[in-house]
Structure 1
Amino acid sequence: MKAFLMHRDQDFDLEGKLPSNEQVLTQDLELNTLFSAMAQKDEFLFKVVRKAVLSSLDDLDAILYRQDILKDCLKNPSLVREIYAIAVEAIEQEKKNYLGLFSRYPVAILHRSIEVLQMFVEMLKKLRNYADEQANKFDSEGFAAFFNMLQKELDDDYFASIQEHLKTLKLREGVLISVELGKGNKGTNYTLRKPEGKKQNWISQVMDRFLASKSTAYTFTISERDESGAKALSELKDRGINLVANALAQSVDHILSFFNMLRIELGFYVGCLNLQERLNQKGEPMSFPLPSTHYQRKHSFSGLYDVCLTLNLEQRVVGNDVNADEKDLVIITGANQGGKSTFLRSIGLAQLMLQCGLFVPAESFAANLCARLFTHYKREEDSAMKSGKLDEELGRMSDIIDDIRPNSLLLFNESFAATNEREGSEISRQITQALLEKGIKVFFVTHMYDFAHGFYDQGRDNALFLRAERQRDGERTFKLSEGEPLQTSYGEDLYNKTFGTKGEG
């Protein structure tokens, strides 16, 4: 049995390898805020959503497959949570039935497996009931296949067969074992045999004994005080049921693995439901993005906001409208503390959310897939640094170059500003030019006028220049609009706001 609720034809690998830059992405995009909102203090859910978000899908059909399943979940949140709860309960109940010191005894293994399998049967029946009664409320290919699998695999004959086997394996009528003699007359090929049938009544037993011409079997009785004999008989019994006990334990493991995978895969969607509830409470917009292939250049949206910022604030945050279709380079300049870094983070978050099948924090959003997502943000001064800030930035850039490939997306946030304007601009220009030539999309937040205006003067059709808005009185709107890079970032506004305007005593 397979759930296939994250991929069309394979299980979701919770222990799979994450991107080499996952720690950098987590830090620069503040991803732990997103993961925490989705997990709601559930460590297991945190692990699942972290793995899903950071493991970007690179196939359009796979993303749309997952989007359709999530749309079903958003339409039926209570039902999805109930199915998830069944998987969790099954796993927790199995853990409570612990063998401990008796794990090496076949009799104990058999007894434990029977109890667990009986519990699993009840949980599977609940899932089958959901398939019978609720399947018509779901439209996605993934849920249709899931419910169809439950109905096909868990039919009435299946449950009847299991109950019959469990009844037999309780061995209430004793144990019938066959054995062969091996070398040195040692027993070999111990095999548990099926009982011959129902017990005969006492009249039949008397008649059989009376009519039998001679005995066809030999019997012996062990004295109640014969501990050695009882031990030997117990060992014979263990040998006889060993294969059956192991086979039943494997069956339990098989069903347990199904519940584990169901919990993992539905866990991602439960995390999505948690996030949707948080954003709905604030009245923030959400939409399903329109993905396109790697080779297209799509990046247009309305009302895009930083989901991690809004999760940390009581009020709603400002969204932005941008059309960067057919653009390889977006350079963002403008007023200090005008929302440039927040906008850049919203770009990275939306890309990750798109490529894991999630909705995005925007009124509408369309973008091409990226092969990999990278960030290169400025870092605070580190007293433990063995070299200067510029060397450290260049070192991180070198690491990115080692991993990056065509059709990736790279976000720069005030990079290479640790040196003078002229040198920083030249470094930025050469790196950006090389990236563009390799088919890599670049978003660059910068205060370096020489760098930004140098590209602006080239009149590139594939470049877009955005500027953080500043009102005439110095107030920031946190909106970005198209505009030529300016020589000032209006740092005096921040000075005046902090220390008062000139002339104030």
Structure 2
Amino acid sequence: MKACLMHHDRDFELLPALAPYQSDVRGDLELDTLLDAMAGDDELICNVALSALMDSLGNDGGTILYRQAILRDAMRNPAVTRDLYRLAGVALEGKRKHYFGVFMNYPSGILHGSMELMQMLLEVLKAVRQIADLHLGAFSSAGFSSLLAMLQAEFGDAYFDEIEHHLSVLKLKSGVLESARLGQGNDGTGYVLRLPRDTRPAWLARLLRRGPPAYTFRIADRDETGARALSQLRDQGLNLVANALAQSTEHILNFFEMLRTELAFYVGCLNLRERLAALGAPLAFPVPGEAGRHAQRFDGLYDPCLALQMGRSVVGNTVDVGSRALVMITGANQGGKSSFLRSIGLAQLMMQSGMFVAANAFTADLCSSVFTHYKREEDNTMTSGKFDEELRRMSRIVDAIRPNAMVLFNESFASTNEREGSEVARQVVKALLSHDIKVYFVTHLYDFAHGIATSLSDAALFLRAERRPDGSRTFRLVLAEPLDTSYGEDLYREVFLVDGVNSGQG
């Protein structure tokens, strides 16, 4: 049995570990803020959401739309979705409660523990089947409809009756009846547990019976050696049945484990939606485009992590990038450039994982991977200068990147002088564009930005952080070419002037 809620034909697999560039993406895009909103204290939701986001870039358009349809169903039926997730957790918790440790090394212990576990699983299966019976008509997605229909078909009344019958027989109320034959050296072999005899014979038959139908022996009450030998004979007969029942319980547990894992993604999406809705922040299902088309446009795109951190809705941006592969972002500090860059990367990951995105509308082509190259503050762990460290990280990206990828640069190569930094940035961008890689670049390097505006004006879109004449920020980006100023007077005014009065002393 397969849940098939993340892929239509296979199970979802958690990432064993993040690649170095993926760890950079996680930190630079502040993914942990998003994961905390999705997961709360649920570690499984956090791990599943992280794997879904970071491993989403191999998904095709069909997988994305498949998950979107399931998520829409979950959003229409949040209580049912969470009930299924909770019941799967109850089943898995039952395994821990019914684990007998050292006694599970013996067939009798395995049989006893498996019977108790199966009895508990039976109650969970009945509850799951009841959900399918009551709510199948409320779901329209292929994934949820198939899952609920399978639950009805696999866990019918006849299935439950058969399990309960077998469990009743395995209680062995009439003792253990088994058969065996003599093997080499007169050792017992071929031990098989047999069905117990039918009900006891009538009293007249018992009265007229001449003697036992088989050879028998009895063990003295204090004969520990004999009791041990008899227990071993009993376990020989129980071995096959105990293993078969244990495998049956594992089969059901594996189903619940995969069901809970795949539902965790959608429960996390529900949690995030509720958090953002409480802030008045809009969400939309994106439209994925064909890889390599470089077709991207969005309305009201914002950084959900910033909204979650600030506890309110934040300013969004509306841009039609079209088929341009390069977006240059310049302008004054504290104008929303870094937040915009995060919003682009997060929206791409969220779209390709099958989620909604933080926008009124969003359309983009699929990317093979997303990379980030952000400036780093110098710290004690660095073994060389900041510029050398930037070049090493760029080298790692080049080793891993392939066509149709996206790279987000945030003030990269600014740790050296402007002339050298501009030349390195220009060469890197041209090389990436020549290999069909989409680039978003936030920079204060005017020589670099102006040179791109001169040489690649047709291939690039230029955005600038909006600044009013009085120096205030709107936190929106507007279509505009770079300026040869960083508005240093704004910093001077902020540091040295308070309400227009010089705060310095001499």
TM class by smaller structure: over 0.9
Structure 1 match to 2:31:
31
Q: Look up the match of 1:76.
A: 77
C-alpha deviation, 1:304, in angstroms: 0.6
* Cα distance, 1:105 vs structure 2: 1.7
**1:345-365 residue CA offsets vs partner (Å, 9 max, x unmatched):** 110111111111111000000
Name the structure 2 match of 1:504.
Answer: 502
Residues 305 and 318, structure 1, Cα contact 8 Å, conserved in 2: yes
Q: Matches of 1:152 and 1:266 in 2, distance apart?
A: 20
2-side partners of 1:451 and 1:458: how far apart? 11
Give the equivalent residue in structure 1 for 2:312: 315
**1:107-186 mapped onto 2 (5 Å cutoff):** 107-186=108-187
- Cα distance in structure 2, aligned partners of 1:215 and 1:147: 54
Structure-2 residue corresponding to 1:383: 380
- Alignment counterpart, residue 469 of structure 1, candidates 457, 461, 466: 466
The DSSP-based 3-state class of the residue aligned with 1:23 is: helix
Q: Aligned partners of 1:144 and 1:384: how far apart in 2?
A: 52
Find out whether 1:431 has 2:391 as its counterpart: no
Alpha-carbon distance in structure 1 between the residues aligned to 2:228 and 2:254: 36
CA contact (8 A) 2:373 2:409 kept: yes
Determine the C-alpha separation between the residues in 1 that align with 2:255 and 2:454.
Answer: 60
* Counterpart in the other structure of 2:43: 43
What is the SS of the residue equivalent to 2:353?
coil
- For residues 255-306 of structure 1, what are the alpha-carbon distances to aligned partners after superposition, in whole Å with 9 as ceiling and x for unaligned? 1111111111111111111101100111100000100121211211011111
Deviation digits for residues 452-486 of structure 1 (CA, Å, limit 9, x no counterpart): 11111135332100000000100010000110110
- Shifted more, 5-14 versus 134-143: the winner is 5-14
User: Counterparts of 2:15 and 2:427 in 1: how far apart (Å)?
Assistant: 39
CA contact (8 A) 2:280 2:312 kept: no
User: How far 1:495 moved relative to its partner?
Assistant: 1.9
Aligned residue for 2:218, secondary structure, equals coil
Higher deviation after alignment, 249-258 or 468-477: 249-258
1:278 aligns with 2:290: no
> Percent identity of the aligned residues?
55
- In structure 1, runs of 5+ residues without a counterpart are none
Q: Give the direction of change, closer, same or farther, for the CA distance of 1:169–1:15 in structure 2 (3 Å limit).
A: farther
- Aligned equivalents of 2:203 and 2:31: distance in 1? 75
- Three-state SS of the structure 2 residue aligned to 1:374 is strand
Residue 321 of structure 2 is matched in structure 1 by: 324
- Aligned partner of 1:189 in structure 2 is 190
Aligned to 1:229: 226
Report the Cα offset of residue 83 of structure 1. Answer: 1.1
Deviation at 1:314, TM superposition (A): 2.5
Residues 19 and 54, structure 1, Cα contact 8 Å, conserved in 2? no
2:350 aligned to 349, 353, 356, which one? 353
SS at the partner of 1:422?
A: helix
> Distance in 1 between the 2:128 and 2:151 partners?
7
Name the counterpart of 1:53.
53
- Given the superposition, is the C-alpha separation of residues 312 and 215 from structure 1 closer, same or farther in structure 2, using an over 3 Å criterion? closer
Asked if structure 2 preserves the Cα contact closer than 8 Å seen for 1:58 and 1:370, the reply is no
Aligned equivalents of 1:388, 1:128: Cα separation in 2: 62
**Matched position secondary structure for 1:261:** helix
Q: So what's the TM-score if we normalise by structure 2?
A: 0.96
In structure 2, the residue matched to 1:206 is 207
* Residues 198, 296 of structure 1: alpha-carbon distance in 2 compared, 3 angstrom cutoff: farther
Residue 12 of structure 1 and its aligned partner are, at CA, apart by: 1.0
Tell me, yes or no, if the aligned pair for 1:2 and 1:258 is still in contact at 8 Å: yes
- Matched residue of 1:330: which SS? strand
Q: Aligned equivalents of 2:213 and 2:349: distance in 1?
A: 76
Query: When the two structures are superposed, what TM-score results if normalisation uses the length of structure 1?
Result: 0.96
Match of 2:363 in 1: 366
> 1:215–1:389: structure 2 CA closer, same or farther, 3 Å change rule?
closer
Q: Assess if the C-alpha contact under 8 Å between 1:332 and 1:466 holds in 2.
A: yes
What is the CA RMSD across the aligned residues, in angstroms? 1.5
Shift of the 459–95 alpha-carbon distance from structure 1 to 2, 3 Å rule, reads closer
Gaps of 5+ in 2: none
Contact 1:297 1:325 in 2 (8 A): yes
* 8 Å CA contact 1:8, 1:65 repeated in 2: yes
